[in-house]
Amino acid sequence: MRRRLWLALLALVVLVPLALAQPYAADGGFGRPVQEESSSIAASVGVAVSPAGTVTTVWAGPEGVWRLDRTAAGRSQPQLVTATDDVRSLSAAYVGDELVLT
């Protein structure tokens, strides 16, 4: 009986701090999410970072594929990259300084 009590207490002491731990990114560090105003639901989202440090977010909505660039100086207005209503999946990457969407 005492052994079970000690094992339960030991498990609590070991597991509670692990359950309360927050990942580094969720601790208010880098990459904090930014809420964007939108009247539509995004079907697919991709993010890429250019060699110059520009963070580009692309998403597919009912009107087509959109792009939004963020730099240290601020962000651009959303730009319609292509008009389509048939996007199943979307990913983004930079090849050199050129943004590639697949």
What digits encode the pLDDT tens for the residues 74-90?
999 999 999 987 788 88
State the chain's mean pLDDT as an integer: 81
Residue 52 lies in a domain: yes
**Residue range of the domain that includes 76:** 41-101
CA distance 97 to 57: 15
Residue 93 lies in a domain: yes
- In the chain, the number of structural domains is 1
Residue 35 lies in a domain: no
Residue 83 lies in a domain: yes
35-62: pLDDT as tens digits: 767 666 656 899 999 999 999 999 988 8
Burial 50-75 (b: 16+ CB within 10 A, else e): beeebebbbbbbeeebbbbbbeeeee
21-40: pLDDT as tens digits: 655 555 555 555 667 676 66
Residue 67 lies in a domain: yes
pTM of the model as a whole: 0.57
Whether 71 shows a pLDDT value over 80: the answer reads yes
Residue 11 lies in a domain: no
Residue 79 lies in a domain: yes
